[in-house]
């Protein structure tokens, strides 16, 4: 049992700031939150936090761990005047170049970096067309070795190999869901990873693929995770090829429900947003990625019942992502204030609740003990009413001091439990080899 003493307790939704609180943790659960709890738990291991902020764990709602070794990439890449050429010249060559070793280090390093930035869970969306079978289990190893919670899935598509590739993607999603189901009664570490049924985007999945995705969803009880309308092309393609909006097309195959995660959605119509809301699906907004790919801005964030923040492969620093999301929104003339973006950050925990079937996102008895602890000395009062302002204009990931996931300290006093330098050295070698392999494709 762990007792966190003298914390400044933070809740995001509803916003709350309480000084001098204690948190008792047993197993993976918070069992009590209150004033001085020492007398109630005399045998607990105490951690004295001296007023540090303790908040519900930060969740990255959309990421691509397969791109973890692309930072500073040096490979011959043809000019990319539009989004589709960016996919073809860069990302769809990187994903084809991945092998078991580069994928493992990519996932492991991304998991460690997420934790270092205060992230307790990452929802991943994976592609490695030349290594489909078993790829999700390789990523899962990285999550578990770092101690990070998360989800992953394979991006089903036919963009490289037609029906055979579609079937292999579906099979990998189903096999992975079965692997997770088989570990349901194992240790806490074994239960850190859940899954979606993944698909790349409507423009790379034909109707036969949507039928298979619907069957996989039915068979596994999982939800769909897919990019939709990241670029206008996805919408034009759907209108041209299928004569309907992409969201209506997904709905026609029964693919929308409360476990569905739609990434980007920049070019969805009011009718499509209404349909997503009706089905209780969630949007993952990725502000930095949208800016990087010059795909435009999602002007309809305020219309979604449930929207969460993702990075789309640009790390997992959710403090930074929140700032970009807010500032870009202001720059685009949007109506929302920091409190809306803090709620979107909180909504990552709602996604976890829907997929892990246990409570997340509050400092309260009975909730999962996924916590981010920050060293933050504010020059101005910090209280519930201005908490979101502190996140937008002050607090950043340099303040992350410790991270608790499933009740375990996976990062303490800015240190991992073991030396990660050799892992980074091996990752650099794997990255150089990956870039060389890309040059051949
Ligand atoms: Zn993405």
- Cα(32) to ligand 1 centroid in Å equals 38
Query: Hey, is 288 helix, strand or coil?
Result: helix
Residue 196 CA, ligand 1 centroid: distance in Å: 14
Domain ranges of the chain: 2-57+361-411, 58-356
pLDDT in tens for each of the 441 residues of the chain? Answer: 999 999 999 999 999 999 999 999 999 999 999 999 999 999 999 999 999 999 999 999 999 999 999 998 887 888 888 888 888 888 888 889 999 999 999 999 999 999 999 999 999 999 999 999 999 999 999 999 999 999 999 999 998 889 999 999 999 999 999 999 999 888 888 999 999 999 999 999 999 999 999 999 999 999 999 999 999 999 999 999 999 999 999 999 999 999 999 999 999 999 999 999 999 999 999 999 999 999 999 999 999 999 999 999 999 999 999 999 999 999 999 999 999 999 999 999 999 999 999 999 999 999 999 999 999 999 999 999 999 999 999 999 999 999 999 999 999 999 999 999 999 999 999 999 999 998 887
Q: Do domains 2-57+361-411 and 58-356 have the same CATH topology?
A: no
Distance (angstroms) between ligand 1 centre and the Cα of 189 equals: 26
Say how many Å lie between the CA of residue 156 and the centre of ligand 1.
13
- Ligand 1 centroid, distance to 282 Cα (angstroms): 14
Question: 277 CA to middle of ligand 1, Å?
Answer: 21
* Architecture (CATH level 2) of domain 58-356: Alpha-Beta Barrel (3.20)
- Residue 312 CA, ligand 1 centroid: distance in Å: 4
Please, which residues have CB within 8 angstroms of residue 367's CB and are 6 or more apart in sequence?
29, 30, 56, 359, 360, 361
Question: Which DSSP state fits 189?
Answer: G
Angle at 214 between CA 310 and CA 196, to 5 degrees: 30
Are 68 and 128 within 8 A, CB to CB? no
Q: How far is the CA of 63 from the centre of ligand 1 (A)?
A: 6
In degrees, rounded to 5, the angle at the alpha carbon of residue 279 between the alpha carbons of residues 356 and 289 is 70
- Whether domain 2-57+361-411 has CATH 3.10.129.10: no
């Amino acid at each position: 049992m762990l007792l966190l003493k003298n914390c400044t307790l933070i809740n995001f939704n509803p916003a709350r700031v309480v000084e001098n609180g204690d948190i008792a943790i047993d197993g993976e659960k918070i069992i009590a939150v209150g004033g001085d709890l020492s007398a109630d738990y005399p045998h607990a291991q105490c951690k004295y936090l001296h007023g540090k902020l303790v908040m519900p764990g930060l969740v990255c709602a959309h990421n691509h761990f397969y791109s973890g070794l692309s930072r500073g990439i040096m490979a011959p890449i043809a000019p990319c005047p539009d989004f589709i050429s960016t996919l073809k010249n860069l990302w769809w060559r990187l994903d084809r170049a991945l092998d078991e070793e580069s994928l493992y280090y990519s996932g492991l390093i991304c998991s460690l970096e997420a934790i270092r930035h205060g992230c307790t869970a990452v929802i991943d969306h994976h592609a490695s067309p030349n290594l489909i079978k078993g790829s999700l289990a390789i990523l899962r190893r990285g999550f578990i070795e770092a101690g990070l919670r998360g989800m992953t899935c394979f991006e089903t598509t036919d963009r490289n190999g037609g029906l055979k590739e579609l079937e292999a993607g579906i099979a990998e999603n189903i096999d992975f869901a079965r692997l997770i189901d088989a570990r349901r009664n194992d240790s806490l570490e074994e239960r850190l990873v859940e899954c979606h049924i993944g698909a790349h985007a409507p423009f790379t999945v034909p109707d036969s693929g949507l039928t298979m995705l619907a069957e996989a969803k039915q068979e596994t009880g999982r939800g769909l995770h897919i990019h939709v309308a990241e670029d206008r092309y996805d919408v034009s393609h759907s209108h041209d090829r299928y004569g309907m909006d992409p969201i209506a097309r997904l709905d026609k195959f029964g693919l929308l429900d409360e476990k569905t995660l739609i990434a980007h959605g920049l070019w969805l119509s009011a009718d499509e947003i209404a349909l997503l809301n009706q089905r209780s699906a969630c949007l993952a907004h990725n502000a930095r990625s949208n800016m990087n790919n010059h795909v435009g801005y999602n002007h309809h964030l305020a219309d979604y019942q449930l929207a969460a923040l993702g990075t789309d492969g640009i790390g997992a620093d959710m403090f930074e992502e929140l700032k970009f999301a807010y500032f870009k929104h202001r720059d685009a003339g949007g109506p929302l204030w920091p409190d809306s973006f803090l709620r979107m950050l909180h909504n990552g925990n709602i996604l976890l609740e829907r997929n892990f079937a246990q409570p997340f996102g509050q400092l309260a008895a009975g909730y999962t003990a996924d916590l981010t602890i920050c060293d933050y000395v504010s020059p101005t009062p910090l209280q519930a009413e201005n908490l979101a302002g502190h996140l937008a204009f002050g607090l950043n990931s340099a303040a992350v001091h410790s991270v608790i996931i499933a009740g375990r300290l996976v990062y303490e006093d800015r240190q991992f439990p073991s030396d990660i330098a050799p892992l980074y050295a091996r990752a650099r070698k794997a990255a150089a080899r990956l870039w060389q392999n890309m040059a051949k494709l």
